[in-house]
Amino acid sequence: MDEKRALKKFYDQVGELYPEEEEVYRTLRGRLRKKFVLAWLEKQSGALLEIGTNRGMYLQHYHGPRFGVDLSLGVLRRAHRQKPVFFVVADAERLFCFKAGSFDRVLCSEMIEHVFHPQRVFASMAHVLKPGGEALLTTPNYRGERPTWVELGAMIGYGVKGDWREKYFHTAYRPEELVVLAAEAGFQVVDAGTLEKEVKYAAKIPAALLLLGRRLNRLLKSKRFGQWNEDFFQRFSLFIYYIAHYSLLEKLLLLFVREGVRSYIIVRTPPEANGASS
């Protein structure tokens, strides 16, 4: 089985079994990310394509023609349909199912870290965007060594099994690396940087307790305690964040945070471009 078929098989399984939205957006990271993406969407207009749409949660907040693509048919079967959305099963590395210059805006949030050829995703975005069109892409940031294959983590509890020795491909990109990829695809960079800086102060103490609990659970081998430990980490992180955020403490703490745990880039196609990518 080639890598693309294996990848599709894995994400079909994830889409069927793992409630990603419920798990991710109850966390501090997920809530901060959602706030950032929705703030960008509120300023946009025209036809929007979301690449790696999952269940299309962001599309439900957009006030224009909405289209979503995902590699997983399973997840699209469970997609939100309160508002009219066109969903398509498609490969983010080859979006030639759409005519060149079909969309005014593209959103690609938390997807590129799962693909083996990120430059092809940028080429796909360049292909589908109209001249002068704009795109937002977010992805995990990293320091030190770039991650590649990671443990399944919480997905194991939902019955997800990895095709690569119980791991799955999940990498990360620094903002400057995204800038290089964007330039290679012919984009103009509007903005690039990091977000979710608040995680750096809010999760520090909870993370220490989380690791202590994980070590203890090596002896206890309790699934219930392990879940409680993970939930306590998320709740404690949120508690610290809200205390700091609604006081003057956050401004002080952020002075010591150089960058966030998430990278982002906003790009635009040149007005004279034809929107196509070979």
- The answer on pLDDT for 1 being more than 80 is no
- The answer on pLDDT for 164 being more than 80 is no
What confidence tier does 276 reach under pLDDT thresholds 50, 70, 90?
very low
Give Cα separations from 183 to 107, 131, 133, 253 (angstroms). 18, 15, 15, 34
Q: CATH 3.40.50.150 region(s) of the chain? A: 3-197+259-268
Task: Give rounded-to-5 percent helix, strand, coil for the chain.
Answer: 45, 20, 35
- The answer on pLDDT for 77 being more than 50 is yes
Global pTM reads 0.92
The residue to which tokens 């938390």 are assigned? 110
| SS3 label, residue 163 | coil
What confidence tier does 100 reach under pLDDT thresholds 50, 70, 90?
very high
Distance CA 246, CA 34 (A): 19
Distance CA 168, CA 171 (A): 10
Burial readout 90-102 (b: 16 or more C-beta within 10 A, e: otherwise): bbbbebeebeebb
Q: What is the pLDDT at residue 224?
A: 92
Q: What is the pLDDT at residue 216?
A: 96
Average pLDDT over residues 133-156: 93
Determine whether 208 is exposed, middle or buried from the number of CB atoms within 10 Å of its CB (0-12, 13-18, 19+): exposed
Which residues neighbour 165 within 8 Å (Cβ) at sequence distance 6 or greater?
none
What confidence tier does 104 reach under pLDDT thresholds 50, 70, 90?
very high
- The answer on pLDDT for 274 being more than 80 is no
> What is the CATH code of the structural domain delimited by 3-197+259-268?
3.40.50.150
What confidence tier does 45 reach under pLDDT thresholds 50, 70, 90?
very high
Q: Please answer whether residues 151 and 166 qualify as being in contact, where contact means their C-beta atoms are separated by less than 8 angstroms.
A: yes
Q: Which amino acid is at 241?
A: Y
Distance CA 72, CA 54 (A): 8
Which residues neighbour 91 within 8 Å (Cβ) at sequence distance 6 or greater?
4, 71
Average pLDDT over residues 119-129: 98
- The answer on pLDDT for 2 being more than 80 is no
What confidence tier does 163 reach under pLDDT thresholds 50, 70, 90?
low
CA angle at 163 for the pair 161 and 167, rounded to the nearest 5°: 75
Q: What percent of the chain shows pLDDT beyond 90? A: 82
Average pLDDT over residues 75-86: 92
Q: What is the pLDDT at residue 9?
A: 87
Average pLDDT over residues 20-40: 96
Average pLDDT over residues 219-246: 95
